[in-house]
Structure 1
Amino acid sequence: MLTFAEYDRLDALGLAELIRSRQLSAAEVCETAISRAQTLNVALNAIVHPLYDRARAQAAQPQTGPFAGVPLLLKDFGAQLAGVPHTLGTRARRDFLPAEDDELVRRWLGAGLSALGKTNTPEFALMGVTESELHGPARNPWDLGRTPGGSSGGSAAAVAAGIVPVAGAGDGGGSIRIPAAHCGLFGLKPSRGRVPSGPGVGEAWQGASVEHVLSRTVRDSAALLDLTAGPDVGAPLFLPAPARSYREEAERDPPRLRVGFSVAHPLGRAVHPECVRAVGEAAQLLESLGHHVEEVALPWDGPALAHTFFMLYFGETGASLAALEGVLGRPARPGDVEPTTWLLGLLGRTYSAADFAAARASWNVHARRLGRFHEAYDLLLTPTTAAPPPRIGELDPPPAQRAALEVIGRLGLGRAARRSGLVDRLAGDALEKTPYTQLANLTGVPAMSVPLHWTPDGLPVGVQFVAPLAREDRLFSLAGQLERARPWAGRRPPLARG
């Protein structure tokens, strides 16, 4: 059987090439991935719905497609696979089986990728940590006491531990980039409209949420976006195709770029010194590669954008709770979901349609301001997060606050919670450690987290680059250059080396 050491040295493209040339069989690769999953998932809790027999059956068939025989994992949110539990991390949907594949999943499977299982996510993918009551916490392979981030935390933990080379992920407020930063991976959020979201959804989270993958190498991410980019039937919008493939861009050095950077916290709070150091080192590396780099003011109003994001957050959670009636056969009740989720949905019902419409219109205000920034700078550089990965449970509400949330939810006191200031405190705390990523979601532009720094105690810290709309090509080109200058794909957490 293919040894793990041999498997571990290869990214998705490398595995695909050896399978295509018959130096490896799909069955060998599949068994190695399953063995690795069974060994490590006990500690990681990254995979919540194994599909090992399904993967074995696929590996036994003739292989076709550019990624034929390569295993991947699907996030248990967004990446719907027919006949496979699709819980969205909530006990209210633990028995739900979808009737059809999402279009993005069809494209992955059509390229020959083999679904090894579904990965852990927080309830309704709402949090920047992956600690649902249904599935329990996913754990970071760099330190099992810490979170891999969220909401694509299970996917990130599995890729970082070497179970699979790539895993599906979605990003509605940073949920690709935050786990990438916390797990030492490359994570790119595509532009709004770049990849399909159908057939069941027109625009996820009003277009703020986009799906792609987490990977160890830039070229895997680029090649998979080449395969999945483009509208599906009935898509509300689409973007022009790039001049060259994204994989080609990842192999070409970019021209001299103008990069503006900032380490200021958008909400005026503290930024961890290691995150500041990561941006400083990235700026120095960029300068050594010939790029122009200078410090700038953050090109957005942090509190205003946070307010707008939370209006989306509340409204979409309310809609998700309402949609549970179609699954449960009755309206959702507080006990069906976690207390914080119920409160978020309750708050969504306290705002008017006019409030939501005004907040949605303000997205374009932020987009125009960012567009003016990009007239002077090709890219914006910030920390991906304001702190290294938190410990499991660190961001939980204190017991007294949790008790208050349960009372507010049970009694339907959403308006009272708003008047008390509790909502403002919760919102500020929620974004304290992850305040940089929501900008790209609301404005629709592409952004990536690149793993260029590790703390003295061995925790990964990512840096974020934000590009203009539809300029994924620019991000891939720079990412490839950075990867060649300071390789990271060979770094492994202690768990994966053991």
Structure 2
Amino acid sequence: MATQPQLNFLTFEHFTAARQEVAQLPATGNSPFFGLPFLIKDLGLALAGTPLRIGSRSTAGMISEADSHLVAAFKRAGLLIFGKTSTPEFGLTPFTEPQFGGPTHNPWKRGYTPGGSSGGSAAAVSAGVVPIATASDGGGSIRMPAACCGLFGLKPSRGRLSLSPNGDVWNGAVVEGCISRSVRDTAAFLDTFSGPAPGELYTAPPPPAPYRQAMMDNPGALRIGFSTAHPLGLAVDSECVIAVEKTVKLLQELGHHPEEVALPFTATDLTERFMYVIFGEASAEVRRIGIKRGRPVKRHEVEPETYALYLLGQQISGADFAYQRSRWGELAHRQGQFHQDYDLLLTPTLSQPPFPIGSLRSSPAESLLLSVLNGLNARRILQTQVKQLAEKIFAYMAYTPIANMTGQPAVSVPLHWTPQGLPTGVMFTSAIYREDLLLQISAQLEKAQPWFERIPKL
């Protein structure tokens, strides 16, 4: 595969099995995805008989024994899974630069990030390797790579697609979905694969009509609140502001009613209520890996940042964790109140366009300090160091985690490219379970300003 050496988007090649599946396929099938080459993200979804590396050295030798519920559905639909795509370690960062496997490159400019944590899937779709690939989203990991790679990325509502057999992932923050080149393909994906497995912890009500049908309906004149303010009071790159301003004008031309509003969430929602739970979940993930493989994960087997999160998660009391998680419900109520007045919220997807690989990683000095602090278990100093790294990351991804906390659907739409030729997305968020509305507004924008033919030159 000519593009793999250039972009490094694959962690595992499943070519032989895919060829065997092609030979066994009937001549025709009923699924819109019948016979389509397909890639799945190497995180969360299990493909029987293959490694599940999740971007980490710590998972060496771990082989999935059975297909996830969704993977089995992919096979029944006739999708031909020929590989797994790269992800940062445990999906913890908005860039895809694992020490295991190395960084994935953006097809629009090598040496630049494709986003994360679904960076491998986004790079593959953007490069034209496949038209659609799986992605998951626990803090923006569908929408951020879509924005970085000029693609359409819809994060479904909590419970829309099965997580089985994993059950709860990150206290309901994580959902499965896809990254694609078109509104139509994402709508077809939702139509084909939505629905719970038996015993699913979270379930979303079925839509009143198939999404491929609903996306063509006229939603009428929508009330759309928009903001380019940064939740942490920081600067937003001018290109990301321009992207929203251009979208506002386009919405007005389409007959909608955009209005500038104050953001219905705060810095505290991100830096405390989201981060506290992530500390706990990252710590639990390291523990789960140790249980699965039959021996605890050692410090040298994971990246310094991951081990620091593990130690900090050990420090959080059950009461603190439960308190911060309970505040997610308060945030969901605030968002629900906002959507009593506005059908949609429009913001930048990210606060800056794609950046050079390595820009958000810990510097060598920071990594060394973390390693030393991890070894000493100096938790107070460690907490300060991790907080500084978290603030640097939230400066970049300040908008996306909110929908993960509340369970709402949200979508990144590729409507702007910088003068340097780098894509940057705008994000719409709707009330929970209103994927139909997101698809309708996206379909209108796609028709007014098509992006399907915008393909990077490799």
Task: Give the alignment's TM-score, normalised by structure 1.
Answer: 0.90
State the superposition RMSD in angstroms: 1.0
Q: Secondary structure at the match of 2:171?
A: helix
Q: Structure 2 CA distance, aligned partners of 1:96 and 1:135?
A: 16
How is 1:18-417 mapped onto 2 (pairs within 5 angstroms)? Answer: 38-63=1-26, 64-66=29-31, 67-199=33-165, 201-417=166-382
Q: Please list the CA deviations of residues 65-97 of structure 1 after superposition, one character each: whole Å capped at 9, or x if unmatched.
A: 411100110000012101111111101112211
Structure 2 distance, partners of 1:453, 1:467, is 21
Taking the aligned partners of 1:246 and 1:79, their CA distance within structure 2 comes to 24
- Measured in 2, the distance between the counterparts of 1:236 and 1:355 equals 23
Distance 2:381 2:97 in 1: 28
Determine helix, strand or coil for the equivalent of 1:169.
strand
Measured against aligned partners, the alpha-carbon deviations of 1:408-428 in whole angstroms (never above 9, x if no partner) come to 11122223423xx32321221
Report the equivalent of 1:434.
397
Amino acid in structure 2 at the alignment position of 1:428: E
Deviation at residue 241 of structure 1 after TM alignment: 1.3
Runs of 4 or more above 3 Å deviation: none
Moved more, 158-167 or 250-259: 250-259
Cα distance in 2 for partners of 1:431, 1:44 equals 26
For 2:241, what is the secondary structure of its paired residue?
helix
Q: Is the 8 A contact 2:243 2:426 kept in 1?
A: yes
Residue 252 (structure 1) shift: 2.5
CA contact (8 A) 1:266 1:303 kept: no
Aligned with 2:315: secondary structure? coil
- CA deviations on 1:121-173 (whole Å, 9 max, x unpaired) are 00000000000011100000000110100000000000000000000000000
Going from structure 1 to structure 2, the CA distance change for 1:304 and 1:212 (only over 3 Å counts) comes to closer
- Matched length: 455
Partner of 2:387: 424
SS at match of 1:324: helix
Which range moved further: 253-262 or 394-403? 394-403
| CA distance in structure 2 between the partners assigned to 1:145 and 1:216 by the alignment | 22
Please list every run of 5 or more consecutive structure 1 residues that lacks an aligned counterpart in the other structure: 1-37
Q: In 2, Cα distance between the equivalents of 1:355 and 1:456? A: 46
Residue 468 (1) aligns with residue 434 (2): no
Offset at residue 400 of structure 1 (A) = 2.1
| Contact map agreement 1:447 1:467 (CA 8 A) in 2 | yes
Q: Which amino acid aligns with 1:298?
A: L
Aligned equivalents of 2:204 and 2:286: distance in 1? Answer: 32
Cα pair 2:62 2:293 within 8 Å, conserved: no
Query: SS of 2:218's equivalent?
Result: coil
Matched residue SS, 1:254: coil
Amino acid in structure 2 at the alignment position of 1:155: S
Displacement, 1:44? 0.5
Looking at structure 2, the residues matched to 493 and 325 of structure 1 have their Cα atoms a distance apart, in angstroms, of: 41
Give secondary structure in 2 for the equivalent of 1:494.
Answer: coil
- Tell me whether 118-127 or 226-235 shows the greater mean CA deviation: 226-235
What's the CA shift for 1:375?
0.5
- Distance in 2 (CA, whole Å) between partners of 1:243 and 1:324 is 40
Q: Output the CA distance in 1 between the equivalents of 2:438 and 2:111.
A: 32
Q: Which aligned pairs between 1:452-491 and structure 2 lie closer than 5 A?
A: 452-491=415-454
Could you tell me whether the CA contact under 8 Å between 1:253 and 1:480 is conserved in 2? Answer: no
**Aligned partners of 1:491, 1:318: CA distance in 2, in Å?**
41
Distance in 2 between residues matched to 1:452 and 1:79, nearest whole Å? 30
How big is each residue's C-alpha offset from its partner over 1:266-288, in whole Å with a ceiling of 9 and x where there is no partner? 11111000000000001110110
TM-score, length basis structure 2: 0.98
Gaps of 5+ in 2: none
1:357-405 Cα deviation digits (max 9, x unpaired): 0010000111111111100000000000000011111112122221110
